[in-house]
Amino acid sequence: MLPVVVVHGGAGHCPKEMSESAKKGVCAAARAGYEVLRGGGSSMDAVVEAVTQLENNSLFNAGCGSVLNIKGDVEMDALVMDGQTLASGAVAAVRNIANPVQLSRLVMDKTSHVCLTAGGAQQFAESMGVPLVQQESLITDYARMRWRQNLAPEANPVECQMGKMGTVGAVAVDVHGNVASATSTGGILNKMEGRVGDTPCVGCGGYADNRVGAVSTTGYGEAIMKVTLARLILFHMEQGNTQSAHKYAGEEDHEFLLSALRSVGRGSQRFSPGLHEVQSGRSRWGGDSGPSRSLGRSFLQHPDVLGCSSGRCSALRSVRGGTPDREHHHPTMTSKY
Amino acid sequence: MLPVVVVHGGAGHCPKEMSESAKKGVCAAARAGYEVLRGGGSSMDAVVEAVTQLENNSLFNAGCGSVLNIKGDVEMDALVMDGQTLASGAVAAVRNIANPVQLSRLVMDKTSHVCLTAGGAQQFAESMGVPLVQQESLITDYARMRWRQNLAPEANPVECQMGKMGTVGAVAVDVHGNVASATSTGGILNKMEGRVGDTPCVGCGGYADNRVGAVSTTGYGEAIMKVTLARLILFHMEQGNTQSAHKYAGEEDHEFLLSALRSVGRGSQRFSPGLHEVQSGRSRWGGDSGPSRSLGRSFLQHPDVLGCSSGRCSALRSVRGGTPDREHHHPTMTSKY
């Protein structure tokens, strides 16, 4: 099977002056992930490598470049999931770690647990020989400037999330047909201390299942969690496999999906443009230019879509058998964030 | 609509000498939840009340009576979810709190976030006037004895989870037809510090959606997370609503479901007997005594089952219209844990 990697640089508005560099960053991450796959590496190796690149790039809200919480500190979340075993690893509200995505993988590989948080995650990192880094090394001037700006009494809680890219993530399928997903984030600007978003929550920030595909999400985490977005996408991709699924997804169910997805964007359209962008992704890869109001629906209407990438939400469907066309297997299906 | 509450006292083996008291505790919690509903309270009020009762009962692994982590400390997780708004609140690895389920509700009601962890959750509790309690007040002699026992080099990692009941939870539907779910736990005995299980993870430890129903899960959290069990159950309950869903749930999909559920029980049957017990629950409420190998399937085969309660996993389907029979609306559908 031809390997594929899909990378996103996160939801959120990207300031014009950063646009070109950010695009380069996403492309470089996708290329790095693809090199791993081309060298025979697993999809898990690939997504961890791609996300590591973005964590190390100070333009993105993950690792170095993370947004700051209300106290001016960096607390990060990350998740990896292996579609072959359904195993996952996560860290929540972890500090002083350069690459939370790598620590997540260690949680998956080296413990009997799925998720470690706060001090416990940090102790585990030390026990694994992962160096703790000074918090200062993760904080950019830009992040600190925005944090200060948003402490001001007149700061607008919606506006304050803008001007910075969101959570980063990657999904991949390797030559053996195994899929994997990885997601990493600094969370929401000026969040409360200890806030855990959707990212480390299995089924919300990501999901991977060889039988269906892999998803990594980004957007307003509190809204994503309402609908367990990653799992929801995969359920509907799964349904897209059969004619009866199409029938099942009748009016009433569409209404439910729309309702659920509306509740994702409820009053926070500017927080979660990703949900709309996925439709662009669908249009781009699926070729349908008709109106669409629901993410689930877009997949249902396009059971053969392979990759859907918009920089807001990336979803990859694993294909078993058949000869997919070249466009769908472009080595670097990068986001337009 | 007639209100209903379903309460479970958790997966895990209950020692014989505690059996009667534990049954009484679950019944008392269900009665307390039902009193709230009968007084016109919301389903959310009811599930929080029921779970609070179990947290205060030292026989259960939640609040007072929680198991200890590897260092001998109590770290608790809890989740509430409101089926009308899809809003949820959670705390992860929180210490010194008598009633984590109540703190979860405060996170939902008083912050813009869904989940707070560790020190951040504790600070939030203080800011809300929730008293911090001495850790000693949450630790029973029994919990400490088991912790010591399991530190021994010859301790069996599977055996060590036995002899204690698991996570507790409740689901309810109120007179307005709104459903809610609540789950609370001390986690797994001798877990690593900072370990977060399925409980506070939306879609894993619980889920509630007025259009489908509400679920609270218990069992081996790391396995539950593999399949986002609560969300999976609701997806299949949802499919049970239509004939086409039955068709959709054909052989291939059953195989997937079975595979997923097998992976839940993989090598840890004694950790997660709940998955089997739910089938008993199905038999009990649904009246089908035939063989069943999958939880999702049991719902698909019984689209009209209202409540399924086994003390291991409780699931409640909200019913719109029609006159349900008396048995299904028994005020205290308590678990047999």
d(CA B45, CA A233): 32
Question: What local confidence, expressed as pLDDT, does residue A299 receive?
Answer: 28
Q: To the nearest whole angstrom, how far is the Cα of B21 from the nearest Cα of chain A?
A: 31
Question: What local confidence, expressed as pLDDT, does residue A223 receive?
Answer: 85
Active site amino acids of B: 167
d(CA A36, CA A173): 11
Q: To the nearest whole angstrom, how far is the Cα of B194 from the nearest Cα of chain A?
A: 4
Sign of CA dihedral B257, B259, B262, B266: negative
**Between residues A289 and B60, which one has the greater pLDDT?**
B60
Residue B270 lies inside a defined structural domain of this protein: no
Residue A334 lies inside a defined structural domain of this protein: no
Q: Residue with structure tokens 């009020």?
A: B45
Per-residue pLDDT, averaged over A179-194, amounts to 94
- Per-residue pLDDT reduced to its tens digit, A6-52: 888 877 667 778 878 888 888 889 889 989 999 999 999 999 999 99
Residue B41 lies inside a defined structural domain of this protein: yes
| Cα angle A50-A54-A55, degrees, rounded to a multiple of 5 | 115
| A226:B86 CB<8 A | yes
Q: What is the mean pLDDT of chain A?
A: 72
> Which of B79, B65, B64, B42 minimizes the C-alpha distance to B218?
B79
Q: Residue with structure tokens 């689930």?
A: A296
Annotated binding-site residue? B220 = yes
> Which of B325, B315, B286 minimizes the C-alpha distance to B303?
B286
d(CA A191, CA A159): 14
Residue A320 lies inside a defined structural domain of this protein: no
- Per-residue pLDDT reduced to its tens digit, B149-178: 888 888 765 555 555 667 899 988 888 989
Per-residue pLDDT, averaged over A266-280, amounts to 25
Which residues of chain A are within 8 Å of residue B90 when distances are taken between CB atoms?
Answer: 196
**φ and ψ at residue A66, rounded to 5 degrees:** -60, 150
Annotated binding-site residue? B197 = yes
Which pTM was predicted? 0.79
d(CA A246, CA A229): 20
Q: How many domains does chain B have?
A: 1
Residue B333 lies inside a defined structural domain of this protein: no
A78 pLDDT tier (thresholds 50, 70, 90)? very high
Residue A9 lies inside a defined structural domain of this protein: yes
d(CA A88, CA A232): 17
Residue B319 lies inside a defined structural domain of this protein: no
Per-residue pLDDT, averaged over B87-110, amounts to 98
Question: What local confidence, expressed as pLDDT, does residue B164 receive?
Answer: 60
What chain A residue is nearest to B70 in terms of C-alpha separation?
A120
Of A85, A114, A117, which is closest to B117 when you measure between CB atoms?
A117
User: Which of A15-19, A46-50, A77-81, A224-228 is predicted least confidently?
Assistant: A15-19
Question: What local confidence, expressed as pLDDT, does residue A3 receive?
Answer: 82
Residue B179's domain comprises 4-193
> Which of B275, B79, B39 minimizes the C-alpha distance to B180?
B79
What chain A residue is nearest to B210 in terms of C-alpha separation?
A256
Residue B204 lies inside a defined structural domain of this protein: no
| A88:B204 CB<8 A | no
Which residues of chain A are within 8 Å of residue B211 when distances are taken between CB atoms?
Answer: 256, 259
Q: To the nearest whole angstrom, how far is the Cα of A164 from the nearest Cα of chain B?
A: 19
A334 catalytic residue (yes or no): no
CA R_g for chain B:
18
